[in-house]
Structure 1
Amino acid sequence: MEPGCEEAGEFRAPPLEGASDSPGPPPFRWFCLDHVRAFNSRYNFFDGMTADEIHHAQRPLAGWERETRAFAHAGGDKPPKWSDFSDPLDAIAARFRREVAPERNDGKPLSGQDRASLKVLGLAADADRGALRKRYSELVRKYHPDRNGGDRSHEAMLQKVIAAYQQLRQAPAFV
């Protein structure tokens, strides 16, 4: 707060150099709007720098040459070290467990949703469009109420089969 000012100090400003002897960060100064504007108008980042230092700081790529840490490791987080960690419910380790993804012979990619839909239909990962249609027809005949004498107990499974087929027929692996 500025000496003699009665306004509330709402705006933070950097502390005075050498204002604190404590080991932590020095406390900020708080100013009213008028006094923080005056403080900012007097502030000069380049004060005390040579012409070469100012030129170096104003380069277009200044700061970009610094080394940065990687955010991810091979597409995901690194798993924690388990030597001193107990995970009896397998709540954390399950996230890092890699299941071998079934691959297609033609090299076309399968998403997680594609794999789940193939599982609902009971098909292998390398099934083709013809096998997809054939299996869909079999399962619709099996679960449809008109084929089961009006029994509607399999209606939920029929809806899953239809949804899986609709998803897979538009998937890149089956186009």
Structure 2
Amino acid sequence: MRQTRFHGRVEGAAACCSVPGCSEPGEFRAPVTPSSFDGPGSFRWLCLDHVRQFNSAYNFFAGMTPDEIEAAQSPTAGWERQTRAFASNGGDPMPSWGDFSDPLDAISARFRPTAKRQAVERFSGAERHALGVLGLKDDTDLHSVRRRYSDLVRRYHPDRNGGDRRHEKKLGQVIEAWQTLKIARAFA
């Protein structure tokens, strides 16, 4: 039983096979010149027998040295090529994800016009209050917070004050401030 469908067949093609002396209909396109950046190249029309002959004669590796053939057959062929870096001057950089509690706010902030963007606060209200309890400013880092917390715990702890419990409330505030700041998104 013969197949009626072939890959690449253009049924109803009006051209005859371009091989001299062949009167079969040319239903398959075969390249005369390969495709390039200038366009699709040029083609000729061949019948089934002649396109089979054309395809069997095709050799991708024709004209290559053994080293070039081995390189082309490598599983990583093509990955060693350098690619150009994406330009960063196409727009403003993406805001830091840590500046937002909701990821959708971060995405929408990227596409707001620059003039309408609001200044994103590094710390939330509770975190700013905790910084105030520790006596620190907004430009601090986690290492400074930890050092200040350690100093204040030593200063207000009753064991360091001869059992005096007058500073117990202040010690509780310092501990609570540390608990708030150690998980602050600004330090993530």
**TM-score range with shorter-chain normalisation?**
0.3 to 0.5
TM-score by length of 2: 0.36
Larger radius of gyration: 2
